[in-house]
Amino acid sequence: MSTWGYALGADKKPVKAQDLFAPNTVMSRMKEHFSRYTVERVEQITGMKAADIQLAAEIFTSANPTVMMYALGMTQHTVGVENIRCFTVLQLLRGNIGVPGGGIDAMRGQPNVQASTDFGIMFQYFPGYLSYPTEKTNTLEKWTKASGTFRAKWLKNMLKAWFGDYATPANDYGFNLLGVRNGSHNDSIYGLFEDAVRGTVKCAYICGQNPHVTNANLSMVHDGMCKMDSVIVQDIFVNETAEFWKRPGDNPADIQTEVVFLPACSYLERRGTITNSMRLIQWRMEGPKPLGDSKPDYEINNRIWHRLQDLYKDSTEARDEIIKRMTWNYSDDQTVEDILKEINGYDLTTGKLVTGIGQLKDDGTTSSGMWIYAGVYGDGQHKAQRRGQEDNGDMGIYPNFGWAWPDNIHLLYNRASCDANGQPVDPDHKIVWWDAAKGRWDGYDVPDVGNRSKGPDTPDGQKPFRMTGEGVGRLFAAEYSDLNPDGMTRDHSYTPVDGPLPEFYEPVESPTKNSLHEDSRAQFNPCVIYPRMPERQRIGTKDEFPYVLTSSGIAEHWCSGTVTRNIPWLNELVKENFVEIGQKLARKIGVKSGDKVKVSSARGEIAVKAMVTERQQPLTINGEETHMVWMPYSFGFKGLSTGPSTNYLTIDALDPNVQEQEFKACLVNIVKA
């Protein structure tokens, strides 16, 4: 990675190319790199007709602006991040970032998955995407050097929210109370169950997730759970994860794990916020009262925390200090409101809620649980509750409906919709602009600029991509950090580990050779670490497993199916797991629709019915006829309709950047049962 970077001038800033055609520039490197991807070669790799690829490219480039929307088809691969980087390159080249009707939109799957990642569900982050300390960043000073002074400011505000009066500049705001992560350890949900199999993880607390159905290579989850001392499941149903010890065919007496089930009530029975794909935070009201003993998740967590603080109050261990120092002052009847206020943040000199990120200070006089949400509860107003219908400019912004993070900016990078003078490039679709008379940026949306009073004649007013050191979009994703006009440094952690320009590799299990890399070391993404546990993670080959399995959800069920397989009429629509295979393959293996087949991979085997369809067609890949089959993943042994879980077959190889599993491709064999 140290060899990827810009050529720097005497002023230590990237040297600007004379023109687009100069040699050794980002543009010339890109041209050379992508010239290998001719439509003919892409036809060989994908099995799509060259003419269709050409036509798609023509349609895409004849319309402007265009928006690219994506979800799992692009991400559930060991090249997932590289796939999305392709979108970045295309949309930057087309000028489609920050303009109305443009952009790259991640369609988040679970209704509140955006908030989950905002709030630090990913192991490498605290809330607000602030890096979790590792041994290399285990002091505030080292952390700041790595993450930049811009983010250090938000970290200090978070520590003030966590540790209250205890956090002062003199003790680095309590930074040293934080846990330190082993930076080279895989702490993802895959690493967790692997460590359980190895015997080093003894307990798991699983809330609102059903990994015993939804993780790839399920045997690993099961065997890991069997070796744990205890498992706590907090869910609205007693799902497969909670009753893993009752899996059909297993003897519960052989499994010593103690399981505690905490009954949560559903989202209908509690209030709180939800954040959608466009970062819009909306308040939901509570409906009916919780059933039986079930409680809102926040109430369960609140009770557990008070018990923990009580248990640890006399501890003299340094590692327990964080529990003793944590502030936790939520009222019983206003718990969620109090939490949202803490997240929003306070001016500690006046005790008032802050109204936006701009009010947060670097000196310990303000607090904010998560900087990106600062302002959601400001101005004496609970903005997630707003339902304003106004849409000035008729641009679909609805600025008074809920509240979008950060600072209610709906279209990120919207400065890019203006020219160098701050005027809209497309006057018919204006969204923000520099108002010279008022001396400020204005618009139908909140302008995404560092400082609204700094006009286009200042360095600040010329940076549409203010989160990068260079202030422009990154076609070439290399490290670069510099002082921004606001005097702060931004971190450079956006560099994908597998390359500054996207590259194609075959999936870890593939029936064909990577025609771009005859060198066998790069058959699949060379940065992928797989197998991690060779005795448990065999890579299947096409001799044994000749067909490609892909999987996804179905309209009639939701993810692991816990909720939907408990709804009778949905079970009437789809009541069991199945495999969809094409007619040609069906003839080859002598199978008709409705026949039972055995589907096997290097990890497991399950028996399901076959569904033979015309739409599932073989593809010609590198000159060979290749069959693909499809399965839904929403089945397990609990609920009103049951079936074997598809994920006993899938591969737990992970993308090297974000640890996304390769659900969309693995090798299987299918025979008539």
DSSP state of 541: -
How many CB atoms neighbour CB 237 within 10 A? 19
Integer CA distances (angstroms), 620 to 44, 48, 49, 511, 592, in order: 7, 8, 10, 12, 24
Q: Least distance from C-beta 177 to ligand MGD, angstroms? A: 28
Closer CB to ligand MGD, 490 or 664, in the complex: 664
Give the bridge partners for 76, in sequence order: none
Please answer whether residues 279 and 405 qualify as being in contact, where contact means their C-beta atoms are separated by less than 8 angstroms. yes
Closer CB to ligand MGD, 86 or 372, in the complex: 86
Long-range interactions of 89-94: CB distance < 8 A, separation 24+:
89/30, 89/475, 89/501, 89/502, 91/66, 92/473, 92/474, 92/475, 93/475, 94/61, 94/64, 94/65, 94/66
Best CA proximity match to 635, nearest among 569, 592, 579, 586: 579
3-state percent helix, strand, coil for the chain, nearest multiple of 5? 30, 15, 55
In the list Mo ion, ligand MGD, none, the entry touching 533 (Cβ below 5 to 8 angstroms by class) is none
Q: Least distance from C-beta 596 to ligand MGD, angstroms? A: 21
In the list Mo ion, ligand MGD, none, the entry touching 552 (Cβ below 5 to 8 angstroms by class) is ligand MGD
Using left for φ > 0, alpha for ψ between -120 and 50, and beta otherwise, residue 514 falls in beta
172 vs 169: CA distance, rounded Å: 5
Closer CB to ligand MGD, 238 or 472, in the complex: 238
In the list ligand MGD, Mo ion, none, the entry touching 545 (Cβ below 5 to 8 angstroms by class) is none
Q: Least distance from C-beta 553 to ligand MGD, angstroms? A: 3
Q: Least distance from C-beta 661 to ligand MGD, angstroms? A: 8
Chain position carrying tokens 């509690």:
270
The length of the chain, given as a count of residues: 673
Please answer whether residues 556 and 574 qualify as being in contact, where contact means their C-beta atoms are separated by less than 8 angstroms. yes
Q: Exposure pattern of 204-229 as b/e (b: 16+ CB <10 Å)?
A: bebeebbbbbbbbbbebbbebbbbbe
Nearest residue to Mo ion on Cβ basis = 109
Closer CB to ligand MGD, 15 or 56, in the complex: 56
177 vs 160: CA distance, rounded Å: 13
In the list Mo ion, ligand MGD, none, the entry touching 80 (Cβ below 5 to 8 angstroms by class) is none
In the list Mo ion, ligand MGD, none, the entry touching 186 (Cβ below 5 to 8 angstroms by class) is none
User: Exposed, middle or buried by CB within 10 Å (0-12, 13-18, 19+), for 17?
Assistant: middle
Give the bridge partners for 631, in sequence order: 551
Q: What is the CA radius of gyration of the chain?
A: 27
Q: Least distance from C-beta 122 to ligand MGD, angstroms? A: 14
Q: Least distance from C-beta 558 to ligand MGD, angstroms? A: 5
In the list Mo ion, ligand MGD, none, the entry touching 551 (Cβ below 5 to 8 angstroms by class) is ligand MGD
Q: Least distance from C-beta 620 to ligand MGD, angstroms? A: 16
In the list Mo ion, ligand MGD, none, the entry touching 236 (Cβ below 5 to 8 angstroms by class) is ligand MGD
Closer CB to Mo ion, 39 or 113, in the complex: 113
107 vs 150: CA distance, rounded Å: 28
Closer CB to ligand MGD, 374 or 631, in the complex: 631
Closer CB to ligand MGD, 126 or 663, in the complex: 663
Q: Least distance from C-beta 345 to ligand MGD, angstroms? A: 26
Q: Least distance from C-beta 30 to ligand MGD, angstroms? A: 21
Which residue type sits at 107? M
In the list ligand MGD, Mo ion, none, the entry touching 555 (Cβ below 5 to 8 angstroms by class) is ligand MGD
Please answer whether residues 86 and 94 qualify as being in contact, where contact means their C-beta atoms are separated by less than 8 angstroms. no
Closer CB to ligand MGD, 162 or 524, in the complex: 524
Please answer whether residues 354 and 347 qualify as being in contact, where contact means their C-beta atoms are separated by less than 8 angstroms. yes
67 vs 407: CA distance, rounded Å: 23
In the list Mo ion, ligand MGD, none, the entry touching 342 (Cβ below 5 to 8 angstroms by class) is none
25 vs 218: CA distance, rounded Å: 46
Q: Least distance from C-beta 424 to ligand MGD, angstroms? A: 33
Q: Is the peptide bond before 406 cis (omega within 30 degrees of 0)?
A: yes
570 vs 555: CA distance, rounded Å: 10
In the list Mo ion, ligand MGD, none, the entry touching 650 (Cβ below 5 to 8 angstroms by class) is ligand MGD
Closer CB to ligand MGD, 119 or 465, in the complex: 119
Task: Name, in order, each residue with C-beta under 8 angstroms of 322's C-beta and a sequence gap of 6 or more.
Answer: 177, 178, 179
Closer CB to Mo ion, 144 or 214, in the complex: 214
Point out which residues bind ligand MGD (CB under 6 A): 71-74, 76, 109-110, 207-211, 214, 234-237, 239, 264, 266-267, 297, 550-553, 555, 557-560, 562-563, 633, 646-647, 650, 663-664
Closer CB to ligand MGD, 600 or 646, in the complex: 646
Q: Least distance from C-beta 549 to Mo ion, angstroms? A: 18
Closer CB to ligand MGD, 460 or 498, in the complex: 498
Alpha helices, DSSP H only, in 185-276? 189-198, 211-214, 218-227
DSSP state of 418: B
Q: Least distance from C-beta 528 to ligand MGD, angstroms? A: 16
Closer CB to Mo ion, 38 or 110, in the complex: 110
In the list ligand MGD, Mo ion, none, the entry touching 640 (Cβ below 5 to 8 angstroms by class) is none
Closer CB to Mo ion, 23 or 109, in the complex: 109
Q: Least distance from C-beta 79 to ligand MGD, angstroms? A: 9
Point out which residues bind Mo ion (CB under 5 A): 109
Q: Least distance from C-beta 264 to ligand MGD, angstroms? A: 3
In the list ligand MGD, Mo ion, none, the entry touching 563 (Cβ below 5 to 8 angstroms by class) is ligand MGD
